[in-house]
Structure 1
Amino acid sequence: MKIRSDIVKVYKDVHIWVGIVAGLMLFVAFYGGAITMFEKPLERWATPPATLAPPVPLARADDLVAATIAAHPQAGKHYLVMVETAADQPARVIWREPGARRREFVDHGASFGPGGELQTQRLAKAPVAQLIDTLHQKVGLPLPDPAVRWIMGAVSLLYALALVSGLIVLLPTLLKDLFALRIGKNIKRLWLDVHNALGIVSLPFHLVMALTCVVFAFHDEFYDAQDKAVYPQGIQWGREEAAPPPAPGATPLPAQELLRRVNEQLPGFRVFGFGFEQRDGRLEAHVTGLDTRYGTRARTYASTHLDPYTGQVDPHDLPGHMGGWDSAVNTFFMLHFGSYGGNTVRWMYLLLGLAGAMLFYTGNLLWIESRRKKDRGQGAPAQTRAARALGALTVGVSLGCVAGISATLAATKWLPGRVGDLGAWHEGIYYAVFVAATAWAFARGAARSAVELAWLCAALTLAIPLSSLAGAWGLGGAWNHAGAGAVIDCAALAAVPAFALIALRTRRRLQRGHADSIWSTREVAPAASS
């Protein structure tokens, strides 16, 4: 396909500058987003063990609810009955109370002890998975939600523009260069081949991410515009039939009976638990679970209303039972979260997310190499301040993000019981490592800091499975769930040699690469005078 060279140049400039502006924030978003593909195993791995007695059988759940509400009346306002318990939800009955922060809830679990006495405990659900998800959503910026939402939306629009402009630039040589990987002395050509291959192969994934992020960022504005343009008089909703009030003296069905009736109405739907809430003097309920045949709006579950007095399910909020509009909205969420296709899709999204982070990293390297002042026989020229600054920023932000996430994950097994506000500590550890790494990159330069920070990433990532091992052996007060979240330790262990290889290859590059590059520490002798 032939495109005029001047047109290609315009789109190339657009692609380069848009990528430079948005690339580092997108690195954080993609690296964090890749990890959140296994958010649930991460929560189980990171949540400290409860000291409650083992969960009672589901048949005794109603007795436990009654005893809990009698001892803690506030529990009756909002409580859960778990059909499936796990390390991050270890109790059959859990109730929630408002926390110290806005929109924060504190979970408490209940069980019966060996002698039939009521046991309750505040559950220390690990906040580290939520922190990584927040980094993903806020592109790493520690700013209030309203401000970050606009920034994230702008970055997503730039991201989409970079994708389109990059594709146009590549079209004239697409077939020739798609799978080319020319390994040699020309480092710029190698990085360009890697960058192009990653971009083209994962283009559908990136387009989905860009479009869905724009929708998430500006959904309020979209709805406001729709209301003014399409529904100037407001949307005329039809009158929904209210559920009949319960008969005087009616009591909710036992949890075991609710489970039986839900299973009859929703074959193939795996029930995780029931939620109950007092509203206007009436007990309302919802059922949470998953049907793996359908994608879900949330990452790991779907939820819908349930009449606790009759067991009647209102399935219109569940995938497979939605109307056309709701199905379309649900598609946006499931395509972004990868909440379809089970673990196969999750692993695929994980690899695509890491490849996306690599795409933005290589884009910055290409910009630096394109503007390198070459040795013309007069000695190594001083590189531009912009190239040196972008090199340090690229190394510091990218490897600082990786190191910060590894550090806060490794701390997970040691913080509970030692500090009060776990969320604040995890956030503090991440940003302390991130800022320190970025400052180190500027102080040491891109070349030296790239090696040193890659080794730091390897060490901190190795600390993740080592902390679990220490917990398994009972060392230093650490803890570990037997078998829970083993995928987290295995994935971290597999990443260690990858970071070590990056450090070794980077060191080799700075020792043997072009001496007139910011990625080199070699000196070039001035040309001899004649």
Structure 2
Amino acid sequence: MNAKTLKTWLSVHSGIGIAAGLLLFIAFYAGALTLFHHEIEEWSAAAEPPAGPPPTLADAQRLLDGVLAQAPKMAADIRLQLPHDGHGLRAYGQDPATKTWRSFELGADGQPREQQDRGELGEFIHRLHYTVGIPGAWGTYTMGVVSLLYGLALVSGLVIYLPVLARDLFALRWGRNLKRLWQDAHNAVGLLSLPFHIVFAWSGAVLCIGTLLLAPFQFLVFEGKLLALIGPQAGFSRPVQASGTPAPPLKVEQLVAAATRAAPGLEVERLHLRHHGDAAAQVEADGAVHERHLSRAVRVELSGTTGALLHEVQRPASYSSGTALLRGLQNLHYGDFGGLALRWVYFVLALAGAFLFYSGNLLWVESRRKHQQAAQPRRASVMARLTLGVALGCIAGISALFVGTRVLGPDRFADAVQPVYFAVLALCVLWALVRPLPKAAFELCVAAAALTGCIALADAAMLGPRLLRGDLLLWTVDLTALLGAALLLLLARATRRRARNGAPHSVWALGA
């Protein structure tokens, strides 16, 4: 490859990386934690009194009847989440009378109790993963576009690195040239985890903006009929028209029994009821089967009055190619197919991905340094400050949420989850913008390390007896937090050492 072509590819790679790197850092760091969404929810509730006996299908029926008595118009479209994998019993849907989504749980008195739309820790981190904090659907669409750019950055990086693949793959050249060391680490992490990054980029784009990408075909080629054709394969509900004739609906227990007869081995996790109480009522039973396939998801569509099977059962062994592709991408993206060990592998890969974007931004800053003059380009300084503020602010903000949840409890802290995260993030960005850059880098590393280490301290202070009894979940969270704090302190130490002894005209030097 000639020098001009290589320079062009390098410009594409670095330009895209800078444009998307900060958002991708947040997505990957939050995504690493999202892999343990249920464990985080269980950790959050560790200080709460033990729950009563697990809810039954009779409780689910009682909840459904009570909700429809309070809001009868929700019978047109309501979902009933059955207890499974850490999820509790819940009924939810859009109330046609108010055009708002409402969610209900069963209270201690056996009556439905409406849940408030709160920002619980696990759910907020999950939402942060696919929206990076941008409100509404715009956050999801933004991350879909960023995923496309991310894929292009992977291709351009591979083109650049292929000529030196055999020679430099495992080269980590230690010495005074820190830029070369960071470059070696960046290249090695990127190339060794390339298959996973390809999956993340592809699946991220499909999951976030897949429907938007189909829009031209929907309206220009298939005359508005495309979604009706592929909707059931993609997991969308088929349209249902009410007959206007009342009919007694089947009980929850009967619907679950009908679904398991149609799909032996199915563990029903959710019932989606439409036009409940109408002669044309339909029910979708979603759940999972224990089969040796990438996806375990099953969908059974039943009549809500007779329990008769309306359409072919969607299960892994009989998926269409489109369904297999979409379900497979979902499971590949979240690592849902290999158990706990695979999730830890994904956790490490996600953190390595965050490092990839952080180091890429720092390499961009360093490559624009003027080696023989004190005055440095303003754009390099601004990007260095934003990288520090956003990356370390994200880490500090999420750690602060863990600490606040443990100290105040999940119920009292729920309304503060989002404000606290954005306040910490904004404070870190502001600190990086106003302080001398090398001092800000050291101070923000220490602050992020302190907040991360405080997760273990908060557990020890609030739940000391459970820690002493060897609670595995608490020990896992606390040891992970302490390891993260230690790594951040090592980064702070290296940052201060470079500020004192590194190149005098670097943006990281104390004299810069």
Question: TM over 0.5, yes or no?
Answer: yes
Instruction: Determine the C-alpha separation between the residues in 2 that align with 1:330 and 1:284.
Output: 23
Q: Please point out which of 103, 111, 124 is paired with 1:131.
A: 124
CA distance in 2 between partners of 1:101 and 1:466 (Å): 45
Residue type of the alignment partner of 2:454 = A
Tell me the distance in 2 between the aligned counterparts of 1:232 and 1:254: 39
Which of the residues 349, 353, 357 maps onto 2:350? 353
> In 2, distance between residues paired with 1:488 and 1:43?
12
CA separation of 1:51 and 1:178: change in aligned 2, threshold 3 A = closer
Partner secondary structure for residue 134 of structure 2: coil
Name the structure 1 match of 2:383.
390
Give the unaligned 5+ runs of structure 1.
Answer: 112-116, 476-481, 524-530
**Distance (Å, rounded) in 2 between the aligned partners of 1:371 and 1:58:** 63
- Measured after TM superposition, the shift of residue 345 of structure 1 is 2.9
Q: 1:75 to 1:241 in 2, by over 3 A?
A: closer
The answer (yes or no) to whether the contact 1:75–1:96 under 8 Å persists in 2 is: no
CA drift at 1:19: 1.4
Match of 2:363 among 361, 366, 371: 366
Tell me the distance in 1 between the aligned counterparts of 2:252 and 2:208. Answer: 42
1:237–1:359 Cα change, 3 Å: closer
1:478 is aligned to: none
Q: How does 1:130-529 map to 2 (within 5 A)?
A: 130-138=123-131, 140-146=132-138, 148-232=139-223, 234=225, 252=250, 255=253, 262-263=259-260, 265-272=262-269, 274=271, 278-279=275-276, 281=278, 284-292=282-290, 293-296=292-295, 304-307=300-303, 316-375=313-372, 381-413=374-406, 414=408, 416-418=410-412, 422-423=414-415, 425-472=416-463, 487-521=476-510
CA distances 1:102-148 after superposition (whole Å, capped 9, x unpaired): 7543332245xxxxx6466556776222222222222x2534424x4
2:337 aligns to what SS in structure 1? coil
Give the drift of 1:434.
Answer: 0.4
> Cα gap change, 1:324/1:28 in structure 2, threshold over 3 Å: closer, same or farther?
same
- Which has the higher Rg, Structure 1 or Structure 2? 1
Contact 2:104 2:112 in 1 (8 A): no
After superposition, the C-alpha distances for 1:44-75 in whole angstroms (9 at most, x for unaligned) are 32347777972367375478559857986769
State the Cα distance separating 1:201 from its structure 2 match. Answer: 1.0
Kept in 2: contact 1:253–1:310 (CA 8 A): no
Q: Which moved more, 1:319-328 or 1:124-133?
A: 124-133
Match of 2:235 in 1: none
Q: Distance in 2 between matches of 1:41 and 1:320?
A: 30
Alpha-carbon distance in structure 2 between the residues aligned to 1:214 and 1:372:
34
Residue type of the partner of 1:502?
L
Greater fraction of residues in helix: 2
Gaps of at least 5 residues in structure 2 are 233-237
SS of structure 1 residue aligned to 2:317: coil
2:31 maps to what in 1?
A: 33
Check whether the contact 2:120–2:410 (CA below 8 A) recurs between aligned residues: no
Q: Distance in 1 between matches of 2:202 and 2:61?
A: 49
The answer as to whether partners of 2:247 and 2:277 remain within 8 angstroms in 1 is: no
Q: Residue 374 of structure 1 aligns to which amino acid in structure 2? A: H
User: Aligned equivalents of 2:247 and 2:143: distance in 1?
Assistant: 52
Distance 1:244 1:233 in 2: 22
Report the TM-score, using the length of structure 2 for normalisation: 0.81
Question: In the alignment, what sits opposite 2:91?
Answer: 95
Q: Is the 8 A contact 2:263 2:300 kept in 1?
A: no
Shift of 1:303: 5.1
User: 1:153 deviation in Å?
Assistant: 3.7
* 8 A contact 2:272–2:284 mirrored in 1: yes
Cα gap change, 1:223 to 1:514, in 2 (>3 Å): same
Paired position in structure 2 for 1:15: 13
Pair 1:342–1:444, CA change in 2 (3 A): same
Write out per-residue CA displacement over residues 294-320 of structure 1, whole angstroms, 9 at most, x where no aligned residue.
Answer: 3449xxx66543556666666634433
* Worse-matched range after superposition: 397-406 or 363-372: 363-372
Residue matched to 1:527: none
Question: Which residue identity does 2:25 align to in structure 1?
Answer: F
1:311/1:367 CA distance change after superposition, 3 Å? same
CA 1:248 to 1:68, structure 2 compared with 1: closer, same or farther past 3 Å?
closer
Report the alpha carbon displacement of residue 321 of structure 1 after superposing the two structures with TM.
3.2
Distance in 1 of aligned mates of 2:134 and 2:424: 14
Could you tell me which amino acid in structure 2 is paired with residue 95 of structure 1?
Answer: A
Is the Cα contact below 8 Å between 2:453 and 2:485 reproduced in 1? Answer: yes
- Once residues 468 and 280 of structure 1 are traced to their aligned partners in structure 2, the CA distance between those partners, rounded to angstroms, is 49
Which range is displaced more, 317-326 or 63-72?
A: 63-72
Measured after TM superposition, the shift of residue 187 of structure 1 is 0.6
Q: How many angstroms apart in 2 are the aligned matches of 1:63 and 1:134?
A: 30
Contact in 2 for aligned 1:81/1:274 (Cα 8 Å): yes
Alpha-carbon distance in structure 2 between the residues aligned to 1:35 and 1:12: 32
Distance 1:268 1:7 in 2: 56
Structure 1 contact 286–303 (Cα < 8 Å) conserved = yes
Q: CA deviation at 1:399?
A: 0.4
1:17 partner letter: G
**Cα distance in 2 between the residues matched to 1:395 and 1:334:** 32
Summarize the Cα distance change of 1:143–1:504 in structure 2 as closer, same or farther, 3 Å threshold. Answer: same
Distance 1:244 1:98 in 2: 17
Shift of 1:185: 0.6
CA contact (8 A) 1:83 1:271 kept: no
Say whether the 8 Å CA contact 2:63–2:111 is kept in structure 1. Answer: no
Q: Cα distance 1:441–1:231, how it changes in 2: closer, same or farther (>3 A)?
A: same
Aligned-pair distance for 1:437? 0.2
Larger mean CA deviation between 27-36 and 501-510 belongs to 501-510
Q: Percent of pairs identical after alignment?
A: 32
8 A contact 2:119–2:417 mirrored in 1 = no
Q: Helix, strand or coil: the match of 1:184?
A: coil
1:21 alignment partner AA: A
Q: CA RMSD in A?
A: 4.0
- Separation in 2, partners of 1:67, 1:154: 43
CA contact (8 A) 1:446 1:519 kept: yes
- For residues 67 and 279 of structure 1, the distance between their equivalents in structure 2, rounded to whole angstroms, comes to 11
The answer to whether the 8 Å contact 1:258/1:308 transfers is yes
SS in 2 for 1:279: coil
**1:470/1:220 Cα in 2 relative to 1: closer, same or farther (>3 Å)?**
same
Paired position in structure 2 for 1:106? 103
2:6 aligns to what SS in structure 1? helix
